[in-house]
Structure 1
């Protein structure tokens, strides 16, 4: 097992992805960031057994075509992928939507940060959690 963490960012906004990856490097420069432009591309990467799986997925909810919600459903329905923590980050602040997404398997629902300081804070919190406690458990139990 490598000494570094892998993080997949799924976001259709190139500028947001770059901002996010730069902030992640500030948190921990050993984290390897991968990116996908939409849910379809992300699933192609995740389902390729030659690619190492990420330790975390940050998933933008609002993407044209193959939405974040559809991608989350696919990830949580696949045996190989279902234990990867998925953090939804979006411009939405809809509490009902966050409850629904957590019931579908998302670990967190976070408002999309606007600057690198907010992303730094968000990533720091996520990396400090004890993720083993989420594996093979229903989050709402």
Structure 2
């Protein structure tokens, strides 16, 4: 399983990668530090299709909303769930990103164990957070 994490915070990237391995030992975490870096990586590696994309909202250069819009324009990513993974719990952020094509919205938990639990439940199909009804 390949997860693509787009997040500017190095600590958050490290914690996510660790939690991901604990939630699914056969997972691989590919990271980008902002929306522009993520889109560059996808352009350069045209065969790269992650199983999941986790996207932070508040990043420099290109924020999560702009990145989400660009990701949803790429046909090869049509079936890839894009999960907003952010500290914001504002209802407007949730509504806006779901309207832009996010599959789910998860608020970053405060502990590694909680993140492992959320990711485990998520991958088992027991969705945590908000989900857009299709």
TM-score when normalising by structure 2? 0.88
Say if 2:34 is the partner of 1:18.
no
Within the candidate set 64, 89, 106, 1:110 is matched to 106
User: Aligned ranges for residues 61-100 of structure 1 at < 5 Å?
Assistant: 61-100=57-96
Q: CA offset at residue 48 of structure 1?
A: 2.8
- Preserved contact between residue 45 and residue 51 of structure 1 (Cα < 8 Å): no
> Where does residue 56 of structure 1 map in the other structure?
52
Say if 2:3 is the partner of 1:7.
yes
Q: Runs of 4+ in structure 1 displaced over 2 angstroms?
A: 47-52
Q: CA offset at residue 51 of structure 1?
A: 4.3
Residues in 2 aligned to 1:26 and 1:49: alpha-carbon distance in whole angstroms: 27
Q: How many residues align?
A: 130
Residues in 2 aligned to 1:71 and 1:129: alpha-carbon distance in whole angstroms: 25
Gaps of 5+ in 2: 127-131
Gaps of 5+ in 1: 131-138
> Where does residue 133 of structure 1 map in the other structure?
none
TM-score when normalising by structure 1? 0.84
- Preserved contact between residue 19 and residue 115 of structure 1 (Cα < 8 Å): no
Residues in 1 aligned to 2:92 and 2:40: alpha-carbon distance in whole angstroms: 30
Residues in 2 aligned to 1:107 and 1:42: alpha-carbon distance in whole angstroms: 18
- SS of 1:109's equivalent in the other structure is strand
Residues in 1 aligned to 2:89 and 2:64: alpha-carbon distance in whole angstroms: 15
Deviation by residue 1:76-103 (Cα, 9 ceiling, x = unmatched): 1111223210000111111122012111
Residues in 2 aligned to 1:28 and 1:78: alpha-carbon distance in whole angstroms: 27
Residues in 1 aligned to 2:74 and 2:82: alpha-carbon distance in whole angstroms: 13
Q: CA RMSD in A?
A: 1.8
Q: CA offset at residue 18 of structure 1?
A: 0.3
